[in-house]
A and B are shown apart, each in its own frame.
Chain A
Amino acid sequence: MTTPTSRSRPDGEVKLHGAALYGTDLDVPGMLWGALVPSPVAHGTIRSIDLSAARALPGVTAVGAEDLDRLLPFGARDEERPLFPRGEVIYHHQPLAAVAAPTLAEAVRAAREVRVAVDPLPIVSDLESVFPEWPGSGAANSPHVAAHVHARHGDVEGEFSRADRVVQEVYRTASVHQVALEPHACLAEVQDGRWYVRTSTQTPFGVREDLAVLLGVPESSIVVRGTWVGGGFGGKGAPLLEPYALLLARASGRPVRLALGYREEFQLGRTTLPAVVRMETAVTGGRIRARRVRLLLDVGTSLPGRDFATGYSIGFLLGPYATATFEIEGYAVRTNKPPFGPHRAPLAPQCAFVVESHLDHVARESGEDPEEFRARHIWTEGDTTPLGQTVGPFGLGAALERARETAKRWRREAPPGHGVGVGVGFWSTSTGAGGEVRLRLTASEVVIEQGEREIGSGSVLVGLPAVAARSLGVPRERVRVDYSDTSTAPFDSGVFGSRTVGAMGRAIEEASLQLLAVLGKRLAGGAPATLREADGRLLAASGGHEAPVADLLTPEERTTGGMVAGGRHFGPPGTLDEHRVVDGTFYAYRDFTGAAHVAEVSVDRETGSVRVERYAAFHDIGVVIDPAAARAQVEGGVAMGLGTALTEEAIWSDAGELENAGLKDYRIPTLGEVPPVEVDFLEGFPGAGPFGAKGLGEPPMIPVPAAVALAVREACGAHATELPLSAERVARALKLL
């Protein structure tokens, strides 16, 4: 008996039989097991790192900073990001050396034998301790500031001084971890001067590019092959373990497997770090006249100048509401924590929580109906964003209308003590991240040749075949996704930022049109062909003629595996009004998309614990490519958002140590804590993806903390200004009433 395969999950068969091999499953004969030697403190001066005792153990290879020149042929490495620190350690568990041994137990023992002497230095752990009075003028030049962004437009001071009412608030959001169930893992080999690594990654080409810089070797000598990915959520983009595994492989001459234990996954994984936001809004005559927004973002030990986190995320604090006059300023603050990393919709859920909670509060303070007030200001197509970008087709207003109807009904039905909240959020498909795809047409199937791996969302294995099937007019069962490594696959930027179906899908559309045009010419010398399937064969028709594809292939194509067409995609970024930018880099959005969510909650007034009773999500999606996959994305994103809303918080001690590095203490939503989610999509606001599609990876998560927080406020009056809305925080807010 074979398992019936759901059309919605072509990977069901392999995954339900335990046959899918992930990064953690990699294993080849003769392989060594690697382990990292972690820094014992979050900040300190290295006195010595002595590898000799570890090296004396049988079968052990150890590498440290002193070995890099010997192991790396060109020496042109990234001086700003040394693989091993030389003078100073800057975060707890920072890798100081790496070892490999025939078994994991021996590798762990060898890592412990490395004698590390570090003199501790004072550390910065708490973001707010850096600028106790909030950054003043000149703070941008502080050594603690990794990036500074500042923009303004209009007569900000005038609007504030003339306003009927000014509302000021401070919000704080916690550090959250991606918690993919598969920890980071890879397997490296160095042979014939080439650096091979198999790894669980969202971006094989991104890993190649970064490895080339980190190791100082040409990209052409690095070959990255992806494995099945046991969850990414942004955490498996940039390389983490790959350079160390490659160094160990080079030093030992053997394949080396390097994987994080789950505790290390929390400690070394690239988390999203805490943020503090100050919001000020001026209201006159029921309208928002001006806003002043300031962000302090903990970026850990991210590099100076790498201000994408700040410059991109901060924009989410300005939308999706019309604000002609504004001032916004953001500081990326360095602390002794690991580098900041993306986490499904980097900071957008936190920003939406801040914006929605604040404007709800502003409306209440101004005697306005909070939902009406927000709806009155929401962006619609043709509006200009604060940074001077024009909003394209945008279904957020329509989604909000649906959400408000649902909220109205739920409020009528809700028992006493329950509260209903409506939250919105917006997103934009990753700007300017391009890529290529090759399509291969044979007598009986279409093969999508590319280098990305399925990370779970279905974007690669469900979305791409759906686009190819629709573009070519063939059944989806006749489309197969092939994975190559970076030495043979066409370049693509990666599976992130809700870009895969939009960007790669457009490349597939382009390649499909080429195939149909060629078939049409060969058939009748005329119009592009249409395809259909009969008895397992593909047939092409054009101008009243029809023939099997097999008969239309040239002799060359028949002997080289079919007819090949390539498509490429580059989404040019939108443009900002640079006159509004005072300092730093802001990023334009592309393909505005949004969602409005409704949460119904009950709150235990004694303990402050919040239970989400039901939930509804309305999404502007452009066009639905695959209904089951789209729905699944929203259901999963909502659950992840509930974690950020209610329980998830990586707690860093004053010593810069992660205190809850495990799933028992860092709690993600369990089956009993996620309510049923009603999902619906609003089509008719097309994006730049195939057939007008917009991305759906991040958006489902974005409005969740906002919707939950507003429902909590309605249920019990508690106005929470910190995420997560843990029982303790809600109880504290209740006491303030």
Chain B
Amino acid sequence: MTRTPSRLQVNGRAVELPGLPDEERLLDTLRWRLGMKGTKEGCRSGACGACTVLVDGESTLSCLTLTREVEGRAVTTIEIGPEDPVVARVRSAFAVAGALQCGYCTPGFVMSLAGLLRERGAAASREELLEALGGNLCRCTGYASILRAVDRLRSEGP
């Protein structure tokens, strides 16, 4: 039995995934099949949030997602360029606030916030933004500088 190759949109680019095993996780597809290492592998069990990406704009744990489940959909990762204004805005807030240290959790935090901002836009409250980060762990910053980045995002508006 032959199947048509799986397809994904990754950061606006169409990619074909010939021979994709049913059990392959999106995290592994991105990192090892497509060589995109920006999405980080942490606990691999949905507890740390380091692997968060957007699927059709919604923040998603790529370690718990089978690539087959998201066939044909649009995946956005931390490697997305300036064409994504929401991610660019979050990045900018993090840079100005110095909201990173070792940086391993950073892609996950950025994508979680980008997901919420895409969904809620300027209406996003501080509480909603913090809730969006509830699944992201950071061991270095104590979250303080990340909260300053969140406040910067809110004060700057869209």
A: residues with CB less than 8 A from B are 1-6, 8-9, 11-13, 15-22, 24-25, 27, 179-183, 228-233, 261-262, 454-458, 628, 632, 635-640, 662-664, 668-672, 674, 676-677
Contact = CB atoms under 8 A, between A and B. Distances in A.
A379 B72 CA distance: 67
28 contacts: A3-B92, A4-B92, A4-B95, A6-B96, A12-B95, A12-B98, A16-B78, A18-B38, A19-B79, A20-B103, A24-B41, A181-B104, A182-B42, A228-B102, A230-B104, A231-B139, A456-B101, A458-B101, A635-B144, A636-B139, A637-B142, A639-B141, A640-B139, A664-B47, A671-B130, A671-B134, A671-B147, A677-B144
Interface stretch (B1-9, B29-37, B115-123): B29-37
Contacts of B47: 662-664
B73 interface: no
Given A15-B103, A18-B39, A663 B137 contact: yes
A248 to B, nearest CB: 19
Contact of A6 (B31, B97, B138): B97
A717 B38 CA distance: 49
Nearest to A679: B144
B125 interface: no
B66 interface: no
Contacts of A230: 40, 102-104
A11 B145 CA distance: 15
A375 to B, nearest CB: 27
Nearest to B144: A635
B88 A1 contact: yes
Contact of A22 (B40, B96, B142): B40
Contacts of A628: 98
Interface of B: 31-32, 35-45, 47-48, 50, 77-79, 82, 88, 91-92, 94-98, 100-107, 110, 130, 133-134, 136-147
B141 A636 contact: yes
Contact of A231 (B32, B94, B104, B143): B104
Contacts, number: 166
Contact of B98 (A6, A24, A232, A674): A6
Nearest to B131: A672
Given A4-B92, A228-B103, A677-B144, A662 B45 contact: yes
A2 B48 CA distance: 28
B79 A181 contact: no
A489 B108 CA distance: 33
Contacts of B143: 635, 639, 671, 674
A181 B139 contact: yes
Contacts of B104: 22, 180-182, 230-231
A458 B102 CA distance: 8
A168 B137 CA distance: 40
Contacts of A17: 38, 78-79, 91
A18 B78 contact: yes
Nearest to A632: B145
A662 B44 CA distance: 10
Contacts of B92: 3-4
Contacts of A456: 101-103, 140
A730 B20 CA distance: 51
A233 B139 contact: yes
A640 B110 CA distance: 22
A27 B142 contact: no
Contacts of B130: 671-672
A677 B142 contact: yes
A441 B103 CA distance: 30
A181 B144 contact: no
A17 B47 CA distance: 23
A3 B100 CA distance: 14
B139 A12 contact: no
Contacts of A672: 130, 134
Contacts of A12: 94-95, 98, 100
A180 B138 CA distance: 9
A27 B88 CA distance: 28
A636 B106 contact: no
Contacts of A6: 95-98
Nearest to A19: B38
Contacts of A22: 40, 104
Given A16-B100, A628-B98, A636 B37 contact: no
A672 B143 CA distance: 9
Given A3-B91, A27-B35, A16 B97 contact: no
Contacts of B140: 231, 456-457, 636
A637 B136 CA distance: 18
Among B79, B88, B97, B102, max chain A CB count under 10 A is at B102
Contacts of B40: 22, 24, 181-182, 230
Nearest to B79: A18
Contacts of B141: 632, 635-636, 639
Among B96, B144, B146, max chain A CB count under 10 A is at B144
B79 A262 contact: no
Given A9-B95, A181-B40, A638 B107 contact: no
A4 B134 contact: no
Contacts of B35: 27
A228 B97 CA distance: 21
A5 B95 contact: yes
Contacts of B41: 24
A635 to B, nearest CB: 4
A455 B104 CA distance: 10
Given A1-B88, A17-B79, A664-B47, A231 B102 contact: yes
Contact of B91 (A16, A25, A182): A16
Query: Which 9 pairs from chain A and chain B are nearest by CB?
Result: A18-B38, A456-B102, A639-B142, A230-B104, A15-B103, A18-B78, A456-B101, A663-B47, A25-B37
A457 B77 contact: no
Contacts of B77: 18
A233 B138 CA distance: 13
A231 B110 CA distance: 18
Given A16-B91, A24-B41, A640-B139, 10 more contacts: A3-B95, A181-B102, A182-B42, A230-B104, A233-B139, A458-B101, A640-B142, A668-B137, A671-B147, A676-B144
B100 A670 contact: no
A16 B110 contact: yes
Given A8-B98, A663-B137, A668-B139, A181 B42 contact: yes
A692 to B, nearest CB: 24
Contacts of B43: 181, 262, 662-663
A264 B87 CA distance: 33
B74 to A, nearest CB: 17
A2 B139 CA distance: 27
A221 B143 CA distance: 42
A261 to B, nearest CB: 6
Contact of B37 (A9, A21, A262, A664): A21
B84 to A, nearest CB: 11
B82 A1 contact: yes
A537 to B, nearest CB: 27
